[in-house]
Homo-oligomer: A and B are copies of this chain.
Amino acid sequence: MRVHGFSPSGNCHKVRLLLAQLGRQEGRDYCWVETDSARGQTRTSEYLAKNPNGKVPMLELDDGRVLVESNAILCWLADGSGFLPADPWQRAQALSWMFFEQYSHEPYIAVARFICGWTPLDSPRRAGLPVLRQCGHAALAVMERHLASTPWFTGDDYGIADIALFAYTGVAPHGGIALDAYPAVRAWLARVAATPGFVPMPAPDAAAQALIDQST
């Protein structure tokens, strides 16, 4: 199976992290096809034929079947494992946090980071940063409140809701969203990083890091 992904993308990293924690090895059990969405590689006709929405990550099975949307990929890969609760109510809670991530978290925290690190310093998109940061903090406050009483997003066990939310939360400061006010979130990030088989988000390349340094 192949994972089409852009390494600096948290949405893509989710898939790499879960595969690592499921014990799947890159190169042996799956191939990672680096796909630079910031340079139009998800907008080629070949790519759009597989995923008309033109986004990464995309999972492609050996028989050609395709699954898109990072959190749907996590659900499929985790199905039957300890990373996705078997109990329907707990599974629904995991999904709830994953929809929260895609609606109330990623569009602010990930987008602020993308603008800071992957758009020019004179991009008109930078005018949106204050609002994105404000909404990102609102999402972090919701997470902080939840994590005050539970170690993981779905209770006693680490799972794909944690993986989904970890991806961009840990790198929120790249977008100028500091985590200082969220001690429970920071403690949870440390717990995630200590789980067996954890692999960190790749650091931004030098060009992106230089832009981040000038943006935050």
A interface residues (Cβ-Cβ under 8 A, vs B): 52-53, 55, 65, 67-73, 75-76, 79-80, 88-89, 91-93, 95-96, 98-100, 102-104, 106-107, 141-142, 145-146
Contacts and interface: CB of A to CB of B under 8 A. Distances in A.
Q: Which 6 A-B pairs have the closest CB atoms?
A: A76-B92, A72-B96, A69-B99, A72-B95, A69-B96, A79-B88
B72 A89 contact: no
Given A76-B89, A103-B103, A52 B146 contact: yes
Copies of chain A in the complex = 2
Contacts of A93: 67, 72
13 contacts: A52-B142, A53-B100, A55-B104, A67-B92, A67-B96, A68-B100, A69-B99, A69-B100, A75-B92, A76-B89, A76-B92, A98-B99, A102-B103
A99 B96 contact: no
A72 B92 contact: yes
Contact of A99 (B89, B99, B107, B146): B99
Given A68-B96, A89-B65, A92-B67, A145 B102 contact: no
Contacts of A76: 88-89, 91-92, 95
Contacts of A52: 141-142, 145-146
